[in-house]
Amino acid sequence: MSELKLAVYGYGTNAGKAFFEALNDSDINCTDVCPLAYGAGEYDAVNIMDRNFGIVSPDVFDFESANVFISFSDDNDSRKLVKEAQEAGCLVIDAGCEDPKPENIFLDGSTTSLDQMLADRYVVPMNSAATMLALLLKPLDSHFGLEHAEVTLMESVSGLGADGAGELARETIALLNMRPVEPRLFANQMAFNIHTALGDEDDLGITTHEHEVQKQLELALGSKTASRIMLNCVLVPVFYGHTAVISFTAKQDLTLAEVKELLADCVFIENADGEEITPASHGTNEDNIFISRVHGASGLNRTYSFMAVMDNARRGLAMNVLAIVKKYAEEY
């Protein structure tokens, strides 16, 4: 293909930084990056992949000079830039889209065809929460059949971007210094606390966030399998890394050894059984999802449980974006 030229909006977000770290670690040849930010001065620059790139205001940027536009932001300006990039013929990777159409959502490692999305020049990487659960549950369903699964997903505040991590840090410092906390970003105190409802609840008590994750899981697992998953999403006072507790019942009898063997052989999954996995130790700067505590239930030959930890910025989102860029670089 011709030289890969990236224009990136939201390059300073957690996912944006994780993407460039992953890009630097990959074999993709990319020498032309244009970071976009409103209010950028003539001499403003940012260090990306150990190189300084001049920051350009989107007001003066010519999208026809790029062939790939990536947005890591969900603000109103990003919606306008997505449209401008599409009109200029760029491949748009819209990591900030809040309500994507099913036909535009891509998961790295899935059977989802990327070819049509690239032909349409618009791709939305699957969100980090759904990515984690899809990569863990899909192989279990494919090999054993999922009769039922219960998932508690403990999401870090970095899923809300730099503002989430900044607010947790501010509240933590205040409380450790015996000062009262007035929440600014969250409805209630976040430090030393757990938020059990992410969004409004419907008549069944399912939150808007859980609906979003469930909707994307349907694409990876199919609607029948996804409907058998009881999902609980909570926000925990952890800066980086998502943690999941997954219990499942298979449609057939199976042994603990069979479960461990399958999970150990899965793409993007690393078996750390025997280790204590935590978001701090296994949830930052990692390409794989780590699993541990794989165990059965006494007297139940089809029910098993395990823990999982994932770097939500890098594995959950940035690696999906990288897979899209790599495919484009190889074939277009």
CATH of residue 171's domain is 3.30.360.10
Residues 110 and 234 occupy one common structural domain: no
pLDDT band, very low/low/confident/very high, at 111 (cuts 50, 70, 90): low
CATH number at residue 77: 3.40.50.720
**Percentage of the chain surpassing pLDDT 90?**
74
Residues 170 and 192 occupy one common structural domain: yes
Residues 206 and 259 occupy one common structural domain: yes
Residues 115 and 213 occupy one common structural domain: no
Residues 245 and 98 occupy one common structural domain: no
Alpha-carbon torsion angle 141, 143, 144, 149, nearest 10: -20
Contact 292, 283 (CB under 8 A): no
Q: Which residue has the tokens 């990327």?
A: 114
Residues 134 and 122 occupy one common structural domain: no
Tell me which of 199 and 71 has the higher pLDDT. Answer: 71
Between CA 79 and CA 96 the distance in angstroms is 9
Q: Label residue 223 exposed, middle or buried (CB < 10 Å: 0-12, 13-18, 19+).
A: exposed
- Domain, as residue range, for 281: 129-312
Can you give the pLDDT at residue 36? 94
Contact 126, 103 (CB under 8 A): no
pLDDT band, very low/low/confident/very high, at 130 (cuts 50, 70, 90): very high
pLDDT band, very low/low/confident/very high, at 51 (cuts 50, 70, 90): confident
Q: What's the whole-model pTM score?
A: 0.92
Tell me which of 155 and 46 has the higher pLDDT. Answer: 155
Residues 204 and 244 occupy one common structural domain: yes
Residues 142 and 287 occupy one common structural domain: yes
Within the chain, residue ranges assigned H as helices are: 14-25, 76-87, 115-120, 128-144, 162-176, 208-221, 223-226, 256-265, 279-282, 319-331
pLDDT band, very low/low/confident/very high, at 318 (cuts 50, 70, 90): very high
Residues 42 and 118 occupy one common structural domain: yes
Residues 77 and 137 occupy one common structural domain: no
